[in-house]
Structure 1
Amino acid sequence: MVDLTQIMDDEVFMAFASYATIVLSKMMLMSVTTAFYRLTRKVFANPEDCVTFGKGENAKKYLRTDDRVERVRRIKLSIYLASSI
């Protein structure tokens, strides 16, 4: 069985671990960034998220798209797709 110190000395494993850490950190940061943009601009994707800002017809005005929010969402999606390859 392979010893843990041998795995930690392997350059390929260390490169993989470093890249995985960077990608996961960036994905988590982009999730927080997307939530920040959605809350500050009051732009939501589904009616359940709008309930805190309004009821009934008043909540429907928050169901829209914003260019900045969509850009951040697409960046997050591209990071997720690139990490799954």
Structure 2
Amino acid sequence: MAKLTQLIDNEVFQAYATYATIVLLKMMLMSLITAYFRITRKAFANPEDTASFGKGESAKKYLRSDPDVERVRRNTQSLSLFL
């Protein structure tokens, strides 16, 4: 079995680790961006998410689809396809 130092010095492993780190960081960042857009645009997908903005009928107006939020959400979903 190869020693850990040999594995770390391998160019292929270094490239894989670099790209995996970039993809994971981007995925985490995109989830924060999606949350930011949902909160600032007040466009939520679930009734549970609207609890802090109102109860009952007043919360239903926040259950909507916003084009900016959907663009960020689709971008995040397409990113997860590559994992």
Normalising by the smaller structure, the TM-score range is: over 0.9
Instruction: Identify the residue that residue 62 of structure 1 maps to in structure 2.
Output: 62
Q: CA RMSD in A?
A: 0.6
Residues 7-35 of structure 1: CA deviation (Å, up to 9, x unaligned): 01111111100010000000000000000
Residues 42-74 of structure 1: CA deviation (Å, up to 9, x unaligned): 010010000110100000000000000000000
Instruction: Identify the residue that residue 24 of structure 1 maps to in structure 2.
Output: 24
Instruction: Identify the residue that residue 6 of structure 1 maps to in structure 2.
Output: 6
TM-score under structure 2 normalisation?
0.97
TM-score under structure 1 normalisation?
0.95
1: CA distance between counterparts of 2:82 and 2:71? Answer: 16
Q: Percent identity?
A: 65
Q: Within the alignment, does 1:49 sit opposite 2:49 as a pair?
A: yes
2: CA distance between counterparts of 1:2 and 1:10? Answer: 11
2: CA distance between counterparts of 1:40 and 1:63? Answer: 14
2: CA distance between counterparts of 1:31 and 1:7? Answer: 32
Superposition pairs of residues 66-85 of structure 1, within 5 angstroms? 66-83=66-83
2: CA distance between counterparts of 1:23 and 1:72? Answer: 16
Task: Find the residue that maps to 2:62 and give its secondary structure.
Answer: coil
- The alignment of Structure 1 onto Structure 2 pairs a total of residues equal to 83
Runs of 4+ in 1 over 4 A off after TM superposition: none
